[in-house]
Structure 1
């Protein structure tokens, strides 16, 4: 029996990316569908506008850290403003066997697992479990969250990260949910959500050429991926429905640094960078780290008194960020960097040196008003660019950067708080409700009613 189930599962995998040849929807039907979706969305929006000013028995500024009442969740009760903002969206969180997630938190690697730059996979899972959009009844769900901790099992071979286990681990999780529940198979995974919080996201490889050649695994191509990787233009690693999320930075570490070094305090460092910088970039099978950008920075500005450049690790480096006016955020293997979030959170103007990078939550974070972008090819002009900004509009940029709402939008907490990073994820998912099986049924029912009455 188990062999037959596995064979069935693998057969299902081969069908994931096939076209639906039985589709009979014409253009008029599609127009009706979009009209109904718009109508329902406007209805929820109107409800939100009307109810948001009424006193609510449940605070939406900070959701309780204690696990919500099972009775409340089972009865699908939501705070009215949350209901309006997220269009009534509900999320079911799969309770996977511990080997997919919890075991890693119990291991000797647990502290790293839940606190390193890839820990968004853990933080989002924790926050969703206590979130008011969570439902314990899967038939009421719009989306299904599959909590697989890929980066907790992040190994290093010869100093280079390796996540070769990722594809098989996620495939095993999909096999589990597809055999235990009917929801994956009915939508071919299009309403299922995963996190890919490492270098090249849903390609699950840390070297770009290999990531691009292997692409997104076939069994994930219909799903929604929350990933730290994002670039403008086409790229094989974003050829899937996805949301760009920030890398994980511990809110506790940020708050501790802010307590001892106020975000708008004295800044005696002009330009700061601490991290991996190769004096002579290593050619690893044709790959140069940071595309030699960091090496160019070190060679050009290593002896420049305006630049505070350090190549070695230092546990208290956030205190250095809090002392700096400009924080360099050059690409590493991938375009994104945790320095981006740390710089914003600690009031240091991020200087983004990563061509074509797509930044997280642009609706909540005014990137153009709080950061600088310098082309990789223009590193030699970096000193002049920073001097010009310091002499002209640095004060205005810092004022924008010190808005606490900007910092909050990039930090994940253990629970969902209004406007924090997981809240922004929920906002993004609520805009994809047309992928929800439940939502589609409501649209179909509305269309049927319209056709029968017309």
Structure 2
């Protein structure tokens, strides 16, 4: 079977077209001028159409160029027309990689052997739920977020190294121990150095680790020992997400870092809220439950909590308006939700999980830790939702709280009810906008100058 394709008779087509136009002209009784216009149009309509189309594209091109931010950059600088403008190049690059919630920032999560992370969680459920579990929560959140995570390391700005050093933080007798941390991290770095090119090319400056325990990147629970051992040399160029932070010079934060909140399970917060009194009444005035030594033990030359908790116990223990308890209670968050003021004294280090627990459960945190750097200061306006009492002033604690109670307590409590504060201090799986992991990513966005990929693109 064959198909016989006949071309149309061009002359016949033209003749037919002309006939139609002539018929329209004959039917139009608009006068000589109108007939003259149609006569001109029928003979030169192709040229007229071409002229208007050219004019349209020509004006559109210049209108679009005038609205371009790159052109504005050039118009403010006198440059030679023979050389390309660096301002124009950089502007176009930034515009290309600035899409998305975090301006196109991408993080590659290393798939390390289970011995560095998952095995620890398998051995103990507590690993993913205790106050040091931010390392697990951040890892899981990043794995679940397709907008930031990339499976292609070549397009990554940062590299997340998921090593769980805090899972085995406490020994059988309950005393904190991080003796395994340095060797575990060193093994992970050796693993990456051999199998990937990314650590070696920057010496780890675009790599992220979590140190969610007492003195952060120094990996020791006792401050004097932490300072003596210092930050491991192989981590000094990296970015550390750590719960430890102070507002003064300290060897354990002399590394690029982000201060993050300790981990509090969101479901435990919800359970406490569900058990709160229906009338919203807070019948406990000043609350603290936790380790308080009657006679502080001298460990490594230092007293626990620098003696602050002992001073509180001796001064206010048994007082009617102070609910102080030294014994552990799994449901203690149900007591926080009934309290007006929650005392947050330092432990071995300045920070405490009570900072987060109090704030998210509507109890005014009373921070007693000199020089502490609280997490996400730009998002969580701590001065508006908490009190700060100097360690030396615990002897006047009652007078301070009574003064606040009759002045601005209602304002602080109103601020605590803002959902944004609670959201910023809790880790979710998957990550939610405005939660703790989200704010960590916001902080990382300000460190994009450490991105090897971006520095290469901008230098081209």
1:233-256 alpha-carbon deviations (Å, 9 max, x no partner):
110000100000000000000011
Deviation, structure 1 residue 115: 0.1
Aligned length: 374
CA offset digits 1:311-335 (Å, max 9, x no partner): 0001110010000000000000000
Alignment partners' CA distance in 2, 1:344 and 1:249: 11
Partner of 1:113: 127
Cα 1:139/1:331, change in 2 over 3 Å = same
Cα deviation, 1:92-117, whole Å, max 9, x if unaligned, reads 0000000000111211x1x1000000
Q: 1:92 to 1:359 in 2, by over 3 A?
A: same
Q: 1:42 deviation in Å?
A: 7.8
Pair 1:149 & 2:164 matched: yes
Match in the other structure for 1:315:
330
For residues 352-363 of structure 1, the aligned pairs below 5 Å read 352-363=367-378
TM-score w.r.t. length of structure 2? 0.79
Determine the C-alpha separation between the residues in 1 that align with 2:270 and 2:114: 32
Looking at structure 2, the residues matched to 176 and 184 of structure 1 have their Cα atoms a distance apart, in angstroms, of 10
User: Is the aligned partner of 1:89 residue 2:105?
Assistant: yes
Corresponding residue to 2:410 among 395, 401, 419: 395
- Maintained 8 Å contact 1:263/1:346: no
Contact 2:287 2:336 in 1 (8 A): yes
Q: Distance in 2 between matches of 1:269 and 1:442?
A: 59
Quote the residue 1:127 is aligned against. 141
What's the offset of the Cα at 1:258?
1.1
Alignment of 1:256-405 (within 5 A): 256-261=271-276, 265-405=280-420
Alpha-carbon spacing, 1:412–1:40, altered in 2? closer, same or farther (3 Å): farther
CA offsets 1:336-369 (integer angstroms, 9 cap, x no match):
0000000001000000000000000011101010
Q: What RMSD, in angstroms, separates the aligned Cα atoms of the two structures?
A: 2.0
Deviation at 1:35, TM superposition (A): 7.9
Matches of 1:248 and 1:325 in 2, distance apart? 22
What are the ranges of 5 or more consecutive residues in structure 2 without an aligned counterpart? 1-85
Gap runs ≥5 in structure 1: 1-33, 48-79, 446-454
Quick check: 2:90–2:458 contact (8 Å CA) kept in 1? Answer: no
Larger radius of gyration: 2
TM-score (norm 1): 0.80
SS across alignment from 2:395: helix
Distance 1:403 1:40, change over 3 A: farther
* 36 and 94 in structure 1: CA distance in 2 versus 1, 3 angstrom threshold: farther
In 2, distance between residues paired with 1:324 and 1:119? 26
Cα deviation, residue 268, structure 1: 0.5
- SS for the counterpart of 2:234 is helix
Asked if the contact 1:264–1:347 (Cα under 8 Å) also holds between the matched residues in 2, the reply is no
Q: Which runs of 4+ in 1 moved over 4 A?
A: 34-45
Structure 1 residue 263: Cα displacement = 10
Could you tell me how far 1:303 is from its partner in structure 2? 2.3
Query: Which whole-Å CA distance do the structure 2 matches of 1:266 and 1:159 have between them?
Result: 36
From 227, 238, 241, give the equivalent of 1:212.
Answer: 227
Match of 2:78 in 1: none
Whole-Å separation in 1 of the counterparts to 2:300 and 2:270: 41
